[in-house]
Amino acid sequence: MKLVIAIVQDKDANKLRSVFVAHDIIATRFSTTGSFLRSGNTTYLIAIDDDKVDLTLELIKETCSARQQFMTPPVSLNGDTAEHTFPIEVQVGGATVMVLPIDQFHQF
């Protein structure tokens, strides 16, 4: 059994939840915030059998697409405050996924 931790952008979170439900994948969802872009994220915790890990990763990859977006950073690249910053193009979306072994799993 594995623990899949998937951090996705809020824009993709509801669609991914629907995909998980359609494939009988049980996930715990909670809100998180990224540090650099300070944008809303959703983190899923998924305890899954080893034989379903590849399917789970493929569903996340297909559902959470990376895209380009302009944003104004909170500080400029030379350290000035936000009043001297200019929008920059950054990649957003996609998913950050970690897969960890589970030594024990209990449901009471």
Q: Average pLDDT of 69-79?
A: 66
Give me the mean pLDDT over the 70-98 stretch. 72
Instruction: Report residue 86's pLDDT band, with 50, 70 and 90 as the boundaries.
Output: confident
- At a CB cut-off of 8 Å and minimum separation 6, what does 44 contact? 4, 5, 6, 8, 16, 20, 27, 28, 29
Strands 95-101 and 2-9: antiparallel
Query: Domains in the chain, please, with CATH?
Result: 2-73+85-101 (3.30.70.120)
Distance of CA 28 to the CA centre of its chain: 13
Q: Is the pLDDT of residue 98 over 90?
A: yes
Of 103, 101, 74, nearest to 90 (Cα)? 74
List, as one string, the DSSP characters of 1-52. -EEEEEEEEHHHHHHHHHHHHHTT---EEEEEE-SSS--EEEEEEEEE-GGG
Q: In which band, very low, low, confident or very high, does the pLDDT at 65 lie, cut at 50, 70 and 90?
A: confident
Expressed in percent and rounded to 5, the helix, strand and coil fractions of the chain are 30, 40, 35
Top-confidence residue, 9 or 67: 9
Using the predicted structure, report yes or no on whether residue 30 has a pLDDT greater than 60.
yes
Does position 85 have pLDDT exceeding 80, yes or no? no
